[in-house]
Structure 1
Amino acid sequence: MTRPPHGGGGGARRVRCRCGRAVLRQLVGRRAALDVTADADEMTAAAAAGLREPDRLDWCLRTTKAGPDLRWADCHSRGGGCSHPHVIDHQCAAPAAPVPRPRRTVTSSVPEGQLTLD
């Protein structure tokens, strides 16, 4: 995947999840980016920190000239709080996607790896 040199990836896109909620989608990070899907509901940094869990992160939401941009919420460690709105990872309430049926395998009368003429 090619990204702009600044590594921002163009910011977050507002999309609808299959459960119907508005979410923000973005690759966050410059090297090993995470594909983030976060609820579009903005909240304070303290409220987002209260909802954080080991597998559910909160994100600092900045507004740039290109639109919304998700950033790592490392502002919690600074101690002074963060004046930017925050969002939390989305937890989808839609039913799981159906499991595809396994494909029927065709058995052959020739050993594996041997070519056959049809």
Structure 2
Amino acid sequence: MPKPGSDGARRTRCARCGRPVLRQLVGRRAALDVTADDELLPAAAAQALREPNRLAWCVRERLGGPDLGWLGPQHPANCPHPHVIDHQCTTPAPAARPATRRRARKAAAVPAGQLTL
């Protein structure tokens, strides 16, 4: 995972559904670990897909590859760059495995007077 302010996003696949996604830590002080769909959209289309817990991101091509940026209040409405939207995985989460009881380990025999840790 890139560090904040590094070369930008890396292309990978979602571990659950296998769709291509972009991953990046966005921000310098309070960085967000962003996983966004790797489908480039015009600004208006990305804004239409926004929800309270699903953000849109501006994508700029840098030397190291794509770089995701905040869509804050200063972001121009007519931004010429492509945009992406946070990934929402539709594959159900794997079922939790039932808890198993661990067997107690036998304490190793130690000579009299020796402490065990």
Q: TM (normalized to structure 2)?
A: 0.77
Pairs aligned (count)? 104
In our comparison, the structure showing a higher alpha carbon Rg is 2
- Following superposition, the deviation at residue 2 of structure 1 comes to 9.0
Q: Give the counterpart of 1:9 among 6, 21, 41.
A: 6
2:21 match: 23
* Cα displacement (A) at 1:95: 1.8
Identical aligned residues as a percent: 58
Give 1 or 2: higher helix fraction. 1
Q: Secondary structure at the match of 1:61?
A: strand
Consecutive unaligned residues in structure 2, runs of 5 or more: 105-115
The Cα shift of 1:80 comes to: 4.3
Partner of 1:67: 65
Q: Mapping of 1:28-107 within 5 angstroms? A: 28-74=26-72, 77-104=74-101
Unaligned runs of 5+ in 1: 108-116
Which amino acid in structure 1 is aligned with residue 101 of structure 2?
A: R
- Measured in 1, the distance between the counterparts of 2:27 and 2:18 equals 27
Q: Quote the offset at 1:10 in angstroms.
A: 2.4
| TM-score (normalised: structure 1) | 0.76
Structure 2 CA distance for aligned equivalents of residues 78 and 37 of structure 1:
20
CA contact (8 A) 1:11 1:68 kept: yes
TM-fit CA distance, 1:98: 2.2
